[in-house]
Amino acid sequence: MKKRDLKKIGQRAYSWLYILPGLIGVSVFYVLPFGFVIYYSLIDNISTRNFVGLDNFKALFQNSAFLTASKNTLTFSLVTVFSAVIFSLILAVILDSKIPGKSKFRTMFLSPLMVPTASIILIWQVMFSFNGSFNSFIELFGLEPVDWMKSEYSQIVVALLFLWKNLGYNMILFMAALSNIPKDQVEAAEVDGANALQRFFKIKLRYISPSLFFVLLLSLINSFKIFREVYLLTGQWPYETLYFLQHFMNNTFKNLDYPRLSAAAIVMSLFIIVIIGIIFILEDKFGKDVEE
């Protein structure tokens, strides 16, 4: 008995060997330097290194560039996350029905994921410039042309690019969830006279809720990563409503302002951790009764 226990402990220890190489790398490049990040956020600058408490955080929340960037990022996220969830769910429902050519459609919906953004921004530029295709299109309906990339609508143009790229991925997650819904329950409800909408909200939605929360989280995080598309579309200096947090960070990197950089990184990571926490709690509340 004792020998077996020892063997078990040995096996447990051995299994750590597999984790170790990755864990060391993650610690060195992601976790341990965060200690420096915390330290830098509390000092005035890297040469004098005077302890200033939370002054860097106070300064950050008074910095107009940071505030603009946060506001833009949050409005963008709010709009895109909800449209991403709704539209990808619609796509998944369409592909879950018995339409012909399903696999072809899936390939087409998923393909933007694999097209490098840098390759297709030319098309976006042609479509949304002042004398581009989209303006010709809306002029047909008697609307005034807009210089999309240099107006308050610029976020919409970027949001379209974001949705174009991300819907397919979310759709796959939803499709998997939809196919896991027990058929007998749906049929039983059908016999009981529940209509399609009732069936969707009362039964299906409950079963896809874990995926729903995952897609919500994923889209939110992806919307924070929107800088890439904006940079490729407009370069380092976009129209004001397209000035996002990554732009702010890039400029702070350029000035090598470590304390501000660190304070901003901490604020943002706390924000994301809070969001992850909220999603976890929500998932616990809604997903409990359907867990296998």
Residues belonging to the chain: 292
199 contact partners, CB below 8 Å, separation of at least 6: 186, 189, 190
Q: Which three-class secondary structure state does DSSP give residue 99?
A: coil
Closest C-alpha to 228, from 251, 239, 244, 214: 244
Q: How far is the CB of 177 from other proteins (least distance, A)?
A: 8
Q: Measure CA 258 to chain center.
A: 26
Closest C-alpha to 229, from 124, 150, 131: 124
**Three-state SS annotation for 207-226:** HHHHHHHHHHHHHHHHHHCC
Q: How far is the CB of 85 from other proteins (least distance, A)?
A: 14
State the amino acid at position 91 in one-letter form. Answer: L
Q: How far is the CB of 91 from other proteins (least distance, A)?
A: 6
Q: What are 168's two structure tokens?
A: 């397919």
Nearer to other proteins, 78 or 176 (CB): 176
Residue 157, burial from CB neighbour count under 10 angstroms (0-12, 13-18, 19+): buried
Nearer to other proteins, 172 or 203 (CB): 172
Q: How far is the CB of 56 from other proteins (least distance, A)?
A: 13
Cβ atoms of residues 189 and 203 within 8 Å: yes
Nearer to other proteins, 46 or 188 (CB): 46
Q: How far is the CB of 137 from other proteins (least distance, A)?
A: 9
State the amino acid at position 37 in one-letter form. Answer: V
Cβ atoms of residues 155 and 76 within 8 Å: yes
Q: What is the DSSP letter of 204?
A: I
Q: What are 252's two structure tokens?
A: 């702070």
Residues 104 and 218: their CA atoms lie apart, in Å, by 25
Q: Tokens 């709009």 appear where? A: 79
Nearer to other proteins, 1 or 140 (CB): 140
Nearer to other proteins, 203 or 249 (CB): 249
Q: How far is the CB of 81 from other proteins (least distance, A)?
A: 14
Nearer to other proteins, 62 or 131 (CB): 131
Q: How far is the CB of 291 from other proteins (least distance, A)?
A: 9
Q: How far is the CB of 86 from other proteins (least distance, A)?
A: 13
